[in-house]
Amino acid sequence: MNFSYRHFILFSTIMPVLIVVVTIMSISMGTKSISLETINDAFIRYDKENIDHQIIWSGRLPRALAVLCVGAFLATAGAIMQGITRNFLASPSIMGVTDGSAFFITMAFVFLPGISSFNLVLLSMLGSLFGGALVFGFASIIKNGLSPVRLAIIGTVIGTFISSIGTAIAMYHQISQTITMWYNSKVHMLEMELIYLCVPIGMIGLILALSLARAVTITALGEDVAVGLGQNTRIVKVLSMLAVAILTGTAVALVGKIAFVGLVVPHIVRMLVGVDYRVIIPCSAVMGAFFLAGCDLLSRYINFPFETPIGVVTALIGVPFFLYLIRRKGGEKYAA
Amino acid sequence: MPLNKTKWLFIMGTLFFTLLFAMYIHLTSGVFTMTTPEVFKTLLRIDSTEQFDLVIFDFRLPRIITAALVGMGLAMAGVVLQGITKNALADPGIIGINAGAGCAIVIFMFFFNMELINVEINSLVKILIVPIFGFVGGAIAAAIILVISYKHGRMDMQRLILTGIAINTGFSAVTLFWSLKMDEGDYQAAAIWMNGSIYNSNWYFVNAMLPWLIILGVYIYRKTYLLDYFQLEEETVTSLGISIEKEKIKLMLASVGLVSACVSVSGSIGFIGLMAPHIARQLVGIHHRYMMPVSLFIGAVLLVFSDYVAKTVFSPVELSVGIVVSLVGIPYFLYLLVKSKG
């Protein structure tokens, strides 16, 4: 089996350290720097009167955790999609899944103003399913629609269409500014209630994803092989779609649209640890958490003291990577 | 297919009247209601009132003219791009030229603190400089697209669009970044403009666009025969004594110039350059000399009508015209994708 144990062991020892480092940096760095001692104090003997402690517990720590989780969720969703569709460009932001989520949330803002957080997250997941179903449904009725490049084109175009409708409706109700703010700069104004809700639900998605890992590896070998090995491909696909919906839906409900995490991370992971999804999926989760936390740190310093939307940072990293993938892999073999 | 001259004239005439009709309904409708005789009286300068003059000449007419000109510019750029790339799905918006031009313009606005809304009379020179900046950005986008999607001496159709989408996202991210650095007034101006809207147009924008449209339009029209040749096999064209690559790059730059002039006035509006040439080809066939003017008119009609929809459908709230065009254009794009052979 094409799988590098050495890399995997290296990966599983280095990554946790890196994540801890990036989390501590994320807590201590920002418009107000907080010393390591203060952070230590805040954890060991919390002082209500101390402003730094308050900042840590009410602002920095939730943000750091949320970003770590969202990174893990999106990267895992991307890894599953890439495995199941055997499409190297598959990822939640490119296949219309995040757009579907965001669309449903926009609709909720417009038509159900008093909606509870739980229902919002639920709607967000339904939106993921809707977006994904629309794109894959359309792709499967046209000739060669499931080839990587075509599917990516269909995904982005349908995604744009859905979000255009959302924008139009938001404009009509004159809340487009709220919505835009909501999508682009949620990271620094997270709601505690949503974190408590989204993180556990997303974890369910992660567990589902991990339990599907073996099936995804087999599916990635090809439909015929999978059937030959006695796999019920339909159930696997449905469950994977469900996992993707849970993961993306919670991520979008928590922080808005963040593109390219689900595309970039699984590729990097595959370069490091090989082609076995039993390894790729957990490693993607870990790497995704680290990646997004790093982007979050960058977003604070690119235009200091103002924050840059985290999506800008992921796009600036993701777009060149995307172009590289098209250039390297988008050959005639795939483009058909 | 030999084209019947009478049929062509008939189509052109019909389009011309359709455009007039679209302009007419655009002109007469709006928040400030005017009756038809009032509009005509104002236009023909018969006992005009100051109020009507203001609405017609300062607000509605420049907006309509801008819409028509932008529609024509984008349609022409679309014809050229589709001709050069032999790609029926090419459109300046889809392949990222709009985004490149828009990004350069936002950066320009940031450094020179220029509000595009309140342009003073003597600032015509200032306005003329904006499209030039846009041109640089658009040309950079076009260059990236060419580098990425050319392989083995030919452009791969699917890859071209995918690259364009990526470039679009990238430039939009950079644009968002710069626009957030602006102070509030500039940001407001930039945000309105970026969404693709022409509702705060005025005569200076028309003046700023016209030279570009006329010069580049004439240049491109004189070269339309080349677009016909490009549809042939490469060897055949070379044997006719045409240096393909050079001509292609010149035409590409001309269309980037057109798009930049349009974007500098109206922001990013996609899909006009995709739809207009297609509809034109359905109507009059593939001879570019006949097809080009038809698609210009179709582009103008589409945009004037879309702007009318943007203005009225949710009145008094205005949609940005870019969104209206996408809502029509994307299904059309998907339809073309279905029809094109895998």
**Hey, are the CB atoms on A153 and B162 less than 8 Å from each other?**
yes
Contacts of B188 (CB under 8 A, 6+ apart): none
Cα separation, A317 vs B140, in Å, equals: 19
- The verdict on a CB contact (< 8 Å) between A303 and B177 is yes
∠ CA A123-A128-A129 to the nearest 5 degrees? 95
**Interface mutation vs chain A, best among B337, B339, B340, most A CBs within 10 Å:** B337
Coil/strand/helix, residue A230: coil
Q: What is the largest CA-CA distance in chain A?
A: 65
- The pLDDT, as a whole number, for residue B87 is 81
Residue B239's identity, in one-letter code, is S
Q: Give the burial string for A68-101 (b: 16+ CB within 10 Å, else e).
A: bbbbbbbbbbbbbbbbbbebbbbbbbbbbbbbbb
Whether the CB-CB separation of A135 and A158 falls below 8 Å is answered with: yes
- Please report the pLDDT score of residue B103 as a whole number: 92
- Inspect the interface and report whether the beta carbons of B342 and A150 lie closer than 8 Å: yes
Three-state DSSP at B29 gives: coil
pLDDT (tens digit, 9 = 90+) per residue, A40-85?
Answer: 888 888 888 888 888 888 888 889 999 999 999 999 999 999 999 8
- For residue A29, the surrounding DSSP H or E stretch is none
Are A99 and A162 contacting, i.e. CB atoms less than 8 angstroms apart? Answer: yes
* Contact: A330, B162; criterion CB under 8 Å: yes
In order, the DSSP letters of B260-297 are HHHHHHH----SHHHHHHHHHHHHH-S-HHHHHHHHHH
CA atoms within 13 A on the CB side of A222: 3
Is B148 in contact with B163 (CB distance < 8 Å)? yes
Dihedral Cα B42, B48, B53, B56, nearest 10 deg: -20
| Integer Cα distance of B1 and B4 in angstroms | 9
CA angle A268, A271, A275 (to 5 degrees): 110
* Cα separation, B334 vs A138, whole angstroms: 9
- Does residue B211 have a cis bond before it (omega within 30 degrees)? no
CB within 8 Å: A149 and B323: no
User: B158 CA to chain A: closest CA distance, Å?
Assistant: 6
The per-type count for chain B, helices as H runs and strands as E runs, is 15, 2
Please judge whether A174 and B330 are an interchain contact, meaning their C-beta atoms are less than 8 angstroms apart.
Answer: no
B151 three-state secondary structure: strand
pLDDT score of B125:
65
Residue A324 has which token pair? 């590289």
Residue of A nearest to B172 (CA): A312
Inter-residue contact A128 to A100 (CB < 8 Å): yes
d(CA A199, CA A73): 9
What is the sign, positive or negative, of the torsion defined by CA atoms of A150, A155, A161, A167? negative
The CA distance from B69 to B272, in Å, is 12
Show the beta-strand stretches assigned E in A232-332: none
Q: How far is B110 from chain A (nearest CA, A)?
A: 14
A137 Cβ under 8 Å from any chain B Cβ? no
CA B151, distance to chain mean position in Å, is: 29
Q: How far is CA A272 from the centre of its chain?
A: 20
Chain B CB contacts of A143 under 8 Å are 341-342
Q: What is the ipTM of this complex?
A: 0.84
Which residues on chain B are in Cβ contact (under 8 Å) with A89?
Answer: 162
Alpha-carbon span B107 to A256, nearest angstrom: 26
Q: Which residues of chain A have pLDDT under 50?
A: 1-2, 331-336
**Separation of alpha carbons B277 and B273, rounded Å:** 7
| d(C-alpha B199, C-alpha B306), whole Å | 12
Scan residues 275-334 of A and list those with Cβ closer than 8 Å to B. 302-303, 306, 308-309, 311-312, 315-316, 318-320, 322-323, 326-327, 330-332
Q: Who contacts A219 (Cβ-Cβ below 8 Å, separation ≥6)?
A: A83, A84, A86, A226, A231, A233, A236, A237
- A323 contacts on B by Cβ (under 8 Å): 144, 148, 163, 166-167
Q: What pLDDT is attached to residue A161?
A: 94
Query: Which pLDDT score, from 0 to 100, does residue B65 have?
Result: 93
Residue A38 CB contacts under 8 Å (≥ 6 apart), including other chains: A50, A52, A53, A56
Contact status, residue A23 vs residue A69, Cβ threshold 8 Å: no
What is the per-residue pLDDT for A275? 84
- Spell out which residues of chain B touch residue A157, defining contact as CB-CB under 8 Å: 330, 333-334, 337
Which DSSP string do the residues of A112-145 spell out, in sequence order?
Answer: -TT--HHHHHHHHHHHHHHHHHHHHHHHHHSTTT
CA angle B53, B56, B58 (to 5 degrees): 80
Q: Distance between alpha carbon A52 and the CA centroid of its chain, in Å?
A: 30
Residues 80-99 of chain A with CB under 8 A from chain B are: 89
Cβ–Cβ of B151/A157 closer than 8 Å?
no
Give the C-alpha separation, B20 to B14, whole Å.
10
Whether the ω angle into residue A305 lies within 30 degrees of 0, i.e. cis, is yes
Record the tokens describing residue A139, joined without a space: 């792709």
Phi, psi of B170 (to 5 degrees): -60, -50
- DSSP three-state, residue B318: coil
Taking residue B239's Cβ as centre, other Cβ atoms within 10 Å add up to 10
Beta-carbon pairs below 8 A across chains A and B: 113
Give the separation between CA A305 and CA A301, rounded to whole angstroms: 7
> Do B159 and A326 make contact, defined as CB atoms within 8 angstroms?
yes
Contact yes or no for B337 and A156 at CB 8 A: no
Cβ-Cβ contacts under 8 Å for B286 (sequence gap 6 or more): B1, B228, B231
Asked if A161's CB is within 8 angstroms of B327's CB, the reply is: yes
Helix axes A277-301 and A192-220, enclosed angle (nearest 10): 140
The amino acid occupying position B227 is: L
The low-confidence residues of chain B, meaning pLDDT below 70, are 1-3, 113-127, 152-155, 188-189, 192, 195-196, 199, 341-342
